[in-house]
Structure 1
Amino acid sequence: MASTSQTPRGPEPALPSVPPDFDRLLTRIGYLNYAWTNTESLLIHVLAGLLDAARPSAKETATIIHLTLNTTRARIDLIERLAKREGNPLPKEAIDRILKLTHDMKRLSGIRNQLNHSLYAFDANQGIMRSIQMKIADRKSGLKYGQEKPLGRESVEELDEVLSQIRAANAALWSVILDYDLPA
């Protein structure tokens, strides 16, 4: 009979107490990522419509292109270029709506990137929350990085506003998809 031995483990380390506002902030960032990914995936349907929705393979081709382009900016640039080309399969009204949406999504993408590519920290003793930008900037005489921003309850409210704008973009994309019978 084979014996199994288990190394006894000590108690799990206690997680630090997280202030409620910090917990809400981190939860909102999670919601923001979910909402953004969901919204960005709708670009597949817009892309399929711009490729030629009447072709049976348009959605599959659009999905392959979407997954091959690995940045939001590249996906939006492609959609804008296809929308602006001559002989577009969609009516002008649809193109105008798509271009407004891509403009809005570029702005929201910048905000999302700033929030998503930050570290978040709190001082449990003083109750201070802050974000630390994980972006490097070359300056004439050196580098600048690690810019810190204090966070408070208003930061959660700002995130709620950004989430609201992403949800509005999602609804507007669905409206274009349904109004112009793009592959869903």
Structure 2
Amino acid sequence: MQHILLLVGQLNYTWTNTESLLIYLIAGLAGVDKETAIVIFLTLNTTRARLDLVERLAKLAKTKPACRKDVLDVTANLSRQQKLRNKYNHCVYSFDETGKLSHTQLMRIVDTTRDVRYGKVEAVDDSEMARIRASIGEIAETNRAIWEIVRRYGFPH
């Protein structure tokens, strides 16, 4: 249990640190100062809303094509990694009879035209732990890529 909690904590720290860098992308793409970008960032209360804003700003005609591509690449990476982060932030951890963590149960409803499903169960095994570690590495790479965009395009920081 300790190991998974440490990994999830590291995943969350890496994610939060990287998500906060969207402030600089907002500042540069919207042509505002950092303080204004912080207010915009904090006003949008979900990651999805923040990513949507950055993507929409990048798609404006005034954004240079190379910058647009770079920004959309990092937002796509974040969107992909967000799924795993959300999984571990919105699940119940289940244990076997010995008290060892055995699986997660996602606390989300899937409402289709014919039925309602909830609580997708997934094992927490070595491959899943490796997947979390890989995600942490990819988010860290995205962090570095955002800093490179900020420098390359002279965004406020």
Q: Please, what TM-score do these two structures have when normalized by structure 2?
A: 0.92
CA RMSD, aligned part only? 1.6
CA distance in structure 1 between the partners assigned to 2:6 and 2:149 by the alignment: 30
* Number of the residue aligned with 1:45: 24
Q: 1:85 to 1:126 in 2, by over 3 A?
A: closer
Unaligned 5+ segments in structure 1 are 1-21
Cα deviation for residue 181 of structure 1 reads 1.9
* Structure 1 counterpart of 2:151: 178
Q: Residue 35 in 1 paired to residue 10 in 2?
A: no
- Of 138-147 and 65-74, more deviation after overlay is shown by 138-147
The structure 2 residue matched to 1:108, chosen from 76, 81, 90, is 81
1:153 aligned partner, one-letter code = D
State, as a whole percentage, how many aligned pairs show the same letter: 38
Distance 1:70 1:154 in 2: 33
Which of residues 80, 83, 93 is equivalent to 2:58? Answer: 83
Alignment of 1:85-100 (within 5 A): 85-88=60-63, 91-100=64-73
Q: How far, CA to CA, are the matches of 2:69 and 2:99 in structure 1?
A: 50
Distance 2:37 2:97 in 1: 48
Partner SS, residue 131 of structure 1: strand
Q: How many residue pairs get matched?
A: 157
TM-superposed deviation, 1:166: 0.6
- Shifted more, 154-163 versus 124-133: the winner is 124-133
Report the equivalent of 2:5: 26
Q: Which has the higher helix share?
A: 2
Answer yes or no: is the 8 Å Cα contact 2:24–2:155 preserved in 1. Answer: yes
State whether structure 2 residue 88 is matched by structure 1 residue 137.
no
Is the Cα contact below 8 Å between 1:25 and 1:155 reproduced in 2?
A: no
After TM superposition, the score normalised by the length of structure 1 is: 0.79
